[in-house]
Structure 1
Amino acid sequence: MTSDPVPWEWEFDWHLTNRCNFLCEYCHPQIRYVLNKVHLTEPSPELVVRRFEDLGHPCLVHMSGGEPFLFPGFADLCAGLTRKNWISINTNLASPELVADFAAKVDPTRVAKIVAALHVPERERLGLPLETYAKSFRILRAAGFDVVSLYVLYPPLLSRLREDLAVLAGLGVEPLRAKVFKGVHEGRRYPEAYTDKQRRLILANSGEYVFNQPYLDGMLAFRGQSCTAGMTSFKVTVTGEVRRCASVPTAYGNLYDGTFRPAQSAEPCPARRVLVLSQCLAYLVDPPKAAAAPAATEAQA
């Protein structure tokens, strides 16, 4: 999450629940049409905390879904994980009571980042005013959490981007970042399909989100380059299976049942196209020189 030295040794990108109170049109198809329609029984917070503590390495656990705050006992889960580890969260910030419970129970110094993804069309469809989002955002910031708003640059939203950003700023939602859309819209694959005019608009309104430029430049594959994913960074699925990363399904056992074992050495990346560029830039043994400085990890939206 930072270019400064960090206290953790391993990082986990954990899809901890399929539950979600949103059904965003631009959600990744596997999540929108498959995962979020099958609500598996989640493990208990106590089991997950024990499994991470048993690893013997201080960890940073990135939590996404689904909507993390809908994991049963989420605040207790976070309070337990942060006894010996650190967490980061990607949330739609649409559960005000649960956000308040979290803010009261969890130590903000053990939370590396909270990315509050702003899904304007879905909020409008559900009748959820931006004021409630902003209130939860302000509660977290007042409690000492490092929280940032994230606006997904879905192509139909670009015409209203500046207006939306101005409204959010007026509600005290700062900092705010805008992130390129990755996927297919009207038969065109993005981010490649953004026009030159759209690219200029995106780069002018990205805020501190440093990965839009590499995405727009076509930095979407690192096949054959040595990477520590699977060795010190991992993807955990909703069933507890540990994989190399979001782009490569190589398996290393199961976190929940205690069979997880990491790779012993860095291996070349086999992916033809990566899903989370920022993770690649953080975990490549020899990342591209122009991108080596921002050693940050992007929470998935």
Structure 2
Amino acid sequence: MSPEAPHSPLSILYRGRLSSCNYDCHYCPFGKQRDSRETLARDEADLQRLVDWAEQQQRPLQIMFTPWGEALIHLSYQRAIVRLCAMPQVHKVVIQTNLSSPARQLQALAHPKLALWCSYHPHEVSLERFVQRCHSLQAAGIRFSVGSVGNPEDIAALEALRRALPDSVYLWVNINRDEQHTLTPAHWQRLRTIDPLVDHNSKIYSSLGRPCHTGDSVISVDGDGNVTRCHFVKQSLGNLYDGSFQPSRQPCPNQGCDCHIGYVHMPELKLYEVFAGGVLERIPAGQ
């Protein structure tokens, strides 16, 4: 790493081997998969290695878990969160979750450093149960955002969720690229009422040759410790564990970027200002 690295924070987007989910959303391929015991054991060992590595670091760290499947139902991820939050060099821990874990397990994770990126799946869970989980997070003092895919047939469900949540909880909407062409002006008006920032997610941003914080202050790490600049650019930046990782400030090599966890790091979009203090957990400034 560069000499100044110990003084600047490093955000790690970690995606291990876990690819199974306890939900079965029709638009997502991962709910159709079940990881073997061997895969789960390997994922747990990889996770332990990451936490052990973080424990030895002096540089400030922010760690976000972005699993293909649902991770928070596994005790290994719950234990990892507790350990990471206890480390002084770890400033923030974020995980994407569908909130299907029992409320008592979620509340047991409460810590000022923890934040949740919560996804709502109206075909998999009742509105009442999901909102109850959100209330349990609030009661425990856990910071979180809530969001869902803005499929046309689910807009009414998202409107109901918006009414059921306090105004202080940000409700984001992800646009389903396969369905975007079916959204009418009336749909868009309703989506903007649910999420005033939804237009940020409606575009494919031209990113080729443009600067991006990924590769430098933000990196993607897999279960083996292999580092890439983000989940969407596969060129290797070395390995986190063997000392070969070197930050890169090269411009983006991809034609476009259409995922929040990617384009939010493009400085020209100024989304660090929009989400100041909550970039990883997708919480806008002031909420």
Q: 1:288 to 1:163 in 2, by over 3 A?
A: closer
> 2:15–2:223: 8 Å Cα contact kept in structure 1?
yes
Query: What are the superposed Cα offsets for residues 237-283 of structure 1, whole Å, 9 maximum, x if unpaired?
Result: 3554322112211223444xx2364434410101122142354333x
Q: 1:71 to 1:246 in 2, by over 3 A?
A: same
Deviation digits for residues 41-81 of structure 1 (CA, Å, limit 9, x no counterpart): 21335432111233432211111321121334222111111
Alignment check: 8 A CA contact 1:100 1:136 kept: no
1:207-231 residue CA offsets vs partner (Å, 9 max, x unmatched): 5xx3x22233x35221101223112
1:25 aligns with 2:26: yes
Take 2:195 and 2:54, find their aligned partners in 1: how far apart are those partners?
Answer: 34
- Give the CA deviation at 1:173: 9.2
Q: Secondary structure at 1:149's aligned position in 2?
A: strand
Aligned to 2:80: 77
1:297 equivalent in alignment to 2:282: no
What amino acid is aligned across from residue 189 of structure 2 in structure 1? R
Q: Percent identity, aligned pairs only? A: 18
Deviations 1:187-215 (CA, angstroms, capped at 9, x unpaired): xxx3x6532222111111115xx3x2223
Give the distance between the partners of 1:193 and 1:246, measured in 2 at CA. 28
Give the match's secondary structure for 1:271. Answer: coil
Q: Structure 1 pair 141/8, CA: closer, same or farther in 2 (3 Å)?
A: farther
Give the Cα–Cα distance (whole angstroms) in 2 for the partners of residues 82 and 101 of structure 1: 16
Secondary structure of 2:264's aligned partner: helix
Q: Deviations over 1:61-119 (max 9, x none)?
A: 111321121334222111111122120121101121xx423422x352111x2122110
* Residue correspondence of structure 1 range 277-296 to structure 2 within 5 A: 277=260, 279-282=262-265, 284=266, 286-288=267-269, 291=271, 293-295=273-275, 296=278
Report the equivalent of 1:202.
191
* Unaligned runs of at least 5 residues, structure 1: 1-6, 124-128
Rounded Cα–Cα distance in structure 1 between residues aligned with 2:168 and 2:145 = 7
- Correspondence list, 1:108-257, <5 A: 108-111=111-114, 113-123=115-125, 129-166=126-163, 168-169=164-165, 175-185=169-179, 190=180, 194-206=183-195, 210=197, 212-216=198-202, 218-255=203-240
Does the 8 Å contact 1:276/1:298 carry over to 2?
A: no
Match of residue 10 from structure 1: 10
In the aligned structure 1, how far is the partner of 2:43 from the partner of 2:129?
Answer: 28
State the alpha-carbon separation in 2 of the partners of residues 178 and 56 from structure 1: 34
CA shift in 2, pair 1:121/1:276, >3 Å? same
Give the number of equivalent residue pairs: 264
Are the aligned partners of 1:228 and 1:267 in contact in 2 as well (CA < 8 Å)? no
- One-letter amino acid of the counterpart of residue 120, structure 1: P
SS class of match (1:90): strand
- Counterpart pick for 1:103 among 104, 107, 110: 107
Asked whether the equivalents of residues 148 and 174 of structure 1 are also in contact (C-alpha less than 8 Å), the reply is no
For the Cα contact (< 8 Å) 2:73–2:100, is it kept in 1? no
The answer for unaligned runs of 5 or more in structure 2 is 1-6, 283-287
- CA-based RMSD of the aligned residues comes to 2.9
